Structure formats: structure tokens, C-alpha cells
Amino acid sequence: MEDARDIAEPRWLDTDEQQQWYAFAYVLTQLPAALEAQMQRDAGMAHFDYVVMSALSMAPERTLRMSEIAQYAGSTLSRLSNVVIRLEKRGWVRRRPDPSDGRATLATLTDDGTTKVAAAAPGHVEAVRRLVFDPLTKAQQRQLGAASQRILGALNAPCPTDWAPPGATPPSDRG
């Protein structure tokens, strides 16, 4: 005999929910594409590369475990490893075994990598402001943050308040 839950009707979206979902789903495709295009055009690198290098730039001694970077970047270790290999070939990142745990790998942003991410940061921040913050009021910006944290909670994803990697120095404290 079938369980009533097996034959229950799906909870379909109403008209308002459909419109809100389609708008949000479109943002989920268009915003990453716009950020990628800006980073490629202005810095000659992938947006994901910038995210990885930015995380390292904020970390103490510009060094993090690969697993910490993967969590910060919302990536698998496999994808991150491929990216870091590419960044290493460009001289922007260096890898080495973690002396406190030989099973882990540390990634360090090199001086050339620091120069590259610092040069890319102003264009990235301007794109984020233009595409995300400028179209919204201050109240809408706060609502966006609160809604994003709730969605991350439903996804069982970490909800960092400042999106900085472990041990990072906040930008306002770096001068």
C-alpha cells in the first residue's frame, strides 16, 4: 500500500512565487557571468581565481589550508586543486605540506600574487557595487543579506558574517 506522502501533490509555486523565483534564478546566472566577464576583461583572470587569491590575501601570512579555501570559495577540493595548480604555474600561489598535519596542504599567496589581487580588487569592488549594492536601498541591502543567510541556512551551508577566511584581517583593519 502506498504511503500518503508518496502520492501527495507537490507544493506548486503560486504566481507571485513563480515571478520571484524566476527573477532570482536569472540573477543566479547573470551575476556570476557579469563578474566573470569583468574580471577577465580588467584583470585577465577568472573570477574564481580572484576569490581564491583574495581569501589568501586576507589570511595571516597569506596562507591557508586548501580545505579552508575550499570552504570559503564554496568549492570542492578537486576543483580548487586544479585552480591552485594553474595559479602556481603563473607564480601567484605556492603550495606545501602543512607541517602540523602532513595530510593537509597549505597554499600561500606569493608577492606576485599579492600584487595581482591588489590590482584586480578595485575593479571587482566597483562591479559588485554597481551590480548589487547601487540598485538597492540600504534597507534592501540589509534584507538581501538576511535573506541570503536564511537561504544558506536552509542549504546547511556556513553563514559567515563577513565572508572572510579563518583568521583573516578585515579590510578596514588592514589600512
In a domain, 122, yes or no: yes
3 in a structural domain: no
Contact 117, 53 (CB under 8 A): yes
Which pLDDT does position 88 carry in this prediction?
Answer: 98
Q: Which uninterrupted H or E stretch holds 52?
A: helix 47-58
Picking from 94, 133, 115, the residue whose alpha carbon sits closest to that of residue 43 is 115
Q: Does residue 155 fall inside a structural domain?
A: yes
In a domain, 133, yes or no: yes
In a domain, 173, yes or no: no
Indicate whether 52 belongs to any domain. yes
The answer to whether 96 and 105 are in contact (CB under 8 A) is: yes
pLDDT at residue number 156: 87
> What does the block give as the cell for 41?
576583461
Q: What is the pLDDT of residue 160?
A: 56
What is the per-residue pLDDT for 3?
A: 61
Specify the pLDDT at position 157.
82
For 147, the domain range is: 27-160
Q: Is residue 10 part of a domain?
A: no
pLDDT at 55: 94
- What's the total number of domains in the chain? 1
pLDDT of residue 5: 60
Strands 93-98 and 63-65 come out as: unpaired
Q: Is residue 7 part of a domain?
A: no
Q: Phi and psi at residue 91, in whole multiples of 5°? A: 80, 15
Tell me the pLDDT of the chain (175 aa) as tens digits: 556 566 789 999 999 999 999 999 999 999 999 999 999 999 999 999 999 999 999 999 999 999 999 988 889 999 999 999 999 999 999 999 999 998 999 999 999 999 999 999 999 999 999 999 999 999 999 999 999 999 988 998 876 554 555 455 544 444 3
User: 3-class DSSP state for residue 59?
Assistant: coil
What CATH number has the domain bearing residue 130? 1.10.10.10
